Structure 1
Amino acid sequence: MTDGCILDFDGIHAGIAGSSTCVRFIAKGETMECIEIYTGGDGHSLFRHIEAFEVSPVYFKGITVSLSSPQACESVLLHEFNSDYFLGWHNPPSRQYVVVLAGELEIVVASSETAQRFAAGAVFIAGDLHGKGHTTRAIQAGRALVVNLRG
C-alpha cells in the first residue's frame, strides 16, 4: 500500500504513510463491542451487547488514524468511588458512556439474577432512562469517566 495503512499494537492505532506492509487493517465500519443497560418493554432494565463507535481511516496531520464520528455530549465527569460505594436503584439522568479507569464496578438489573462487572478498561452504556433502573456498587475502589450524551 503506497498511501498509508493503519497499524494496531495492543489496541493502540497508528498510521504509517507510504508503508508497504501492515500488521492489521482497520476497515471502514469496524466497531467496538460493549454492554448497554436499557429499559425493556416491561419497565425493567436489561443488559445487551451492542456495537458502538463505527470507525473509519482518516488522514490527519500526515498520518492515517482510525476515528469514529464525533458524538455530542452534555458533560464529562470524573467519578471517584471507594470500595464501599453503593448506589441503590436509579436511572441515569441521560444516556451515558461509562469508562472504568481504575477499580471495578458491579451493575445489577431487576430482570437478572446475574450481575455484570466492569473492571479497569471496560466501557459500558447506561441507557435505562425509565423504569426501575439498576444498582451500582464498587467491587474495588477506583474511578470512572462518565460522558453524559445529549438527547
Structure 2
Amino acid sequence: MKELEFKKLFSKLSHIKALSIDSKFEEIVQNLVLFVLFNSQEKSLKNDNDIKNSINDYYGINIKTSLIQPAIDKLLFLNKIVRDTSNRNLYLTEVSKMEIGNKNSENSNIEQTVKENWFKEVLNKYNFLEKRDFDELWKLLNIYLSSIFEKKWCPNIKFSKS
C-alpha cells in the first residue's frame, strides 16, 4: 500500500472489527490475519513475517510480529486456516472463505446504507451542497473515524503512510 487511503482503510478495519464479536484485541488480530489471507490468496504466505508484510501492504498497518504468531496458532487450532504440508503455505478453509465473503458483502451493504442516510441528513440541513462536496465530507469523516479507530481499538499497531 503505497499511499494510505483512509476511506478504504477505515472500511477494511471496520469489517475486521465487526467480525470480532467480543472486541478482544486477540480476536481482532485473528480476523486481521483471516482477512489478509482472504485478500492475498495469490500470495505465498507461510509464516508470521509473511502475514505481517501482507498486512502492511494491504492495510498500511505495521503490526508486531509477536502478535501475529499466536493468532495463526489459534486459527490453526480452530480449523479456520490450514497449513499445506507440501509447501507450508497458510490457507483459509472453505468455510472461512465463505464466512468472510458473506461478512464482507454484508458490511459493504451496511456501509453504503449508512453513507446514503448520512448524505440525506446532511442534505436536509445544507441543501446547497453538491455531490463532490459530499464525497469530500465523507472522506474527511473517514479520516477522523480511522484516527479514533486507531487510538481506541488498535493500540499495538502503527499506521504507516508509505
TM-score band, normalised by the shorter chain? under 0.3
> Which one has the bigger helix percentage?
2
Q: TM-score, normalised by structure 1?
A: 0.22
- Between 1 and 2, higher relative CO (CA 8 Å, sep ≥ 6) is seen in 2
> Which one has the bigger strand percentage?
1
Q: TM-score, normalised by structure 2?
A: 0.21
